[in-house]
Structure 1
Amino acid sequence: MTCVPRLRRLQGGRTRICLLSATPCSILASSHPMTDGSLVPVRLLVFRVGTLACAAEVDQVREILPRLPTTRIPGAPPVVAGLVNVRGTLVTVVEGWRALGLPPPPSPPTSALEGTLGSTLILELGAPGGGGRGGEAENGSHKLIGFTVDEVLDMLAAGDHTLEGRQGLPGVDPTLVRAVGRRNGELFIVLDLAALLGPVLTS
């Protein structure tokens, strides 16, 4: 029986991820093992940045927020959109398309009711090299960082049937790719978030 993915909407537009079910998917190629050898598959959150379908491990996604206005950080690199206040905690937000080296999007679509469309993923990453710049929320040895996406698509379960070696996609830096999978006939990349966002955390 195929399980149905669930993204539970909470008060204030926040979304909490339900980990109890996920759509099965296949990983075509992987540069790292996608499971720890147990029978529990890795759960992936699939989202779209521009025309690129991407995924991140659900364990690294703290929550999903609607696209929020940011406060610019003086002297920050262009990839940093700014800061958002998440219930009293300042979180640095990275522009997804800039981080992935994609072409700039057209003017962001807006809704009269909701403002700018899209989502901000609040990701929890290991903190390489210790301390960081002001504005980055810390949680023990981990840090929170925001990552803007155009659309959250699905939650998938990746089994242990992986292939060694990294399979590149046109226009995507292969060093940012952990694996390549397929969902409904469409290829998606599993991002190496440490490689993608580590330079921002340590800058």
Structure 2
Amino acid sequence: MHSVIFRIGALICAAPAGIVREILPRLPATRIPGVSEAIEGLVNVRGSLLTVLDGHVLLHQERRADDEGAIVLLDVGGRRYGLAVGQVLDFLEVPAHSVAQRADLPGVDPRLVRAVGLRGDQPFILLDVEALFAPIIGADGQLP
């Protein structure tokens, strides 16, 4: 399985490469009044407005001083969204033997974890991105 590995606060996370469309540097987002704080705002990507969700808020993680900031564009529920992360670390093929089924991790909602893998000797969380976004975008992929 190919995955994009990124850091959100103290967590090393991954998304399946099949849903990742692009990785962008941090872009200024226009806030939308009255929406959840997990929605960072809208960014203009080559003429298309995309909603960016803040991974730090969604996963209850503090930003780190050394965060470079990046936006990972993901296809979720038939739409494209941005996920603001601290830093993109790697794109790699994760061998099946280095991935374990969902595990309870301290401070991480187990419903958001599809699996736990290893990048070298460093564990990472393969996120269930649809479950991560569902409280914000709804089950139908639409913002409330």
Quickly name the TM-score band, shorter chain normalised: 0.7 to 0.9
C-alpha distance in structure 2 between counterparts of 1:165 and 1:47, whole Å: 19
**Greater RCO, 1 or 2 (C-alpha within 8 Å, sep 6+):** 1
Rg larger for: 1
Q: CA 1:173/1:201 → structure 2, altered by over 3 Å: closer, same or farther?
A: same
C-alpha distance in structure 1 between counterparts of 2:100 and 2:12, whole Å: 21
C-alpha distance in structure 2 between counterparts of 1:200 and 1:162, whole Å: 31
Is 1:155 aligned to 2:91, yes or no?
Answer: yes
Q: Secondary structure in 1 aligned to 2:29?
A: coil
- Of all paired residues, the percent bearing the same amino acid is 46
Segments of 5+ residues of structure 2 without an aligned counterpart are 139-143
C-alpha distance in structure 2 between counterparts of 1:163 and 1:99, whole Å: 23
Which string of whole-angstrom CA distances, capped at 9 and with x for unpartnered residues, describes residues 33-90 of structure 1?
xxxxxxxxx1101011111100000111110000010101011101111100111111
Question: 2:136 aligns to what?
Answer: 200
Question: 1:167 pairs with 83, 88, 103, which one?
Answer: 103
Given that 2:100 and 2:117 are in contact with CA atoms closer than 8 Å, whether structure 1 keeps it comes out as no
Is 1:82 aligned to 2:46, yes or no?
Answer: no
Question: 1:70 aligns to what?
Answer: 29
Given that 2:51 and 2:81 are in contact with CA atoms closer than 8 Å, whether structure 1 keeps it comes out as yes
Question: 2:9 aligns to what?
Answer: 50
Question: 1:96 aligns to what?
Answer: 55
After the TM superposition, which residues 1-203 of structure 1 pair with which residues of structure 2 at under 5 Å, given as runs? 42-102=1-61, 104-105=62-63, 117-126=68-77, 142-161=78-97, 165-202=101-138, 203=144
C-alpha distance in structure 1 between counterparts of 2:79 and 2:117, whole Å: 27
Instruction: Report deviation, 1:105.
Output: 2.1
Q: Greater strand percent: which structure?
A: 2
**TM-score between the two structures when normalised by the length of structure 1:** 0.64
Structure 1 letter corresponding to 2:86:
D
Structure 2 letter corresponding to 1:82:
G
C-alpha distance in structure 2 between counterparts of 1:163 and 1:155, whole Å: 15
**TM-score between the two structures when normalised by the length of structure 2:** 0.88
C-alpha distance in structure 2 between counterparts of 1:84 and 1:65, whole Å: 11
Structure 2 letter corresponding to 1:83:
L
Question: 2:141 aligns to what?
Answer: none
Q: CA 1:156/1:164 → structure 2, altered by over 3 Å: closer, same or farther?
A: closer
C-alpha distance in structure 1 between counterparts of 2:37 and 2:87, whole Å: 22
Structure 2 letter corresponding to 1:199:
P
C-alpha distance in structure 1 between counterparts of 2:10 and 2:50, whole Å: 26
Segments of 5+ residues of structure 1 without an aligned counterpart are 1-41, 110-115, 127-141
Aligned residues between the structures: 139
